[in-house]
Structure 1
Amino acid sequence: MPIRADWLSKTLAGLVLGLTLALTASAILMVPLADLPLAVSGQLAMWLVPPVWLGTLSLVYFFASGWRAWAWLSGANVLALGLWWLARQGGGA
């Protein structure tokens, strides 16, 4: 089976948008862990980044095209950043 022509766009989507998604997931985790010592919460947040990033980078090749990978991961990033913003605001509670 030949290599697909859109492998580069999928790879870049996974690298760039996967990293921002992983960092945002880490930031979301930090909100409820704010009461823990920084040594604990920082380690938890730091070690969340690689599995999310590499998981995204691995799953990005299941998208039908590079454009869809960029579109869906951009949407996931916007949603995650919105959740982080809501969590920082208190979640409306």
Structure 2
Amino acid sequence: MWGKSTAAVFLGMPLSVLVVGFAALLSHDQASTTLPWLLLFFLVWIAVMTCTFLFRTGLRAWLWMGGLTIAGYAALHFLKASGLVRIAA
């Protein structure tokens, strides 16, 4: 139980930031859709932390959530570095 709880606490927020960031970044009109996505952040964060407890063990929770977080941030870095996605000013 401690493994799942620590995975939820330490990996829940970065994974939620990643999900909301991708949704806001890939929207067609970033200027008008970013604020609603940011307002939904808390609900996404709670959902991610709740889903952590669906794993059988704490190790699986750490590995899956850590792997998704690393892969997601690597994909985000690749998209921004390659110029495929731009942040609207």
Q: Quickly name the TM-score band, shorter chain normalised.
A: 0.7 to 0.9
Moved over 2 A (4+): 29-37
Any unmatched runs of 5+ in structure 2? none
Q: What CA RMSD, in Å, does the superposition of the two structures yield over aligned residues?
A: 2.1
Counterpart position of 2:17: 23
Counterpart position of 1:8: 2
Q: How does 1:8-87 map to 2 (within 5 A)?
A: 8-33=2-27, 35-37=29-31, 40-87=32-79
User: Conserved in 2, the CA contact under 8 Å of 1:10 and 1:61?
Assistant: yes
Question: Judging changes above 3 Å, is the alpha-carbon distance between structure 1 residues 17 and 86 closer, same or farther for their aligned structure 2 residues?
Answer: same
**Further displaced range: 41-50 or 63-72:** 41-50
Q: Which has the larger radius of gyration?
A: 1
1:31-67 per-position Cα deviation (integer Å, ceiling 9, x unaligned): 2348532xx3331331342232111211111211111
**Distance in 1 between the 2:53 and 2:23 partners?**
27
SS in 2 for 1:41: helix
Any unmatched runs of 5+ in structure 1? 1-6
Name the amino acid aligned to 1:49.
F
User: Conserved in 2, the CA contact under 8 Å of 1:31 and 1:87?
Assistant: no
Number of corresponding residues: 83
Name the amino acid aligned to 1:27.
G
User: Conserved in 2, the CA contact under 8 Å of 1:13 and 1:60?
Assistant: yes
Identity between Structure 1 and Structure 2 (%): 19
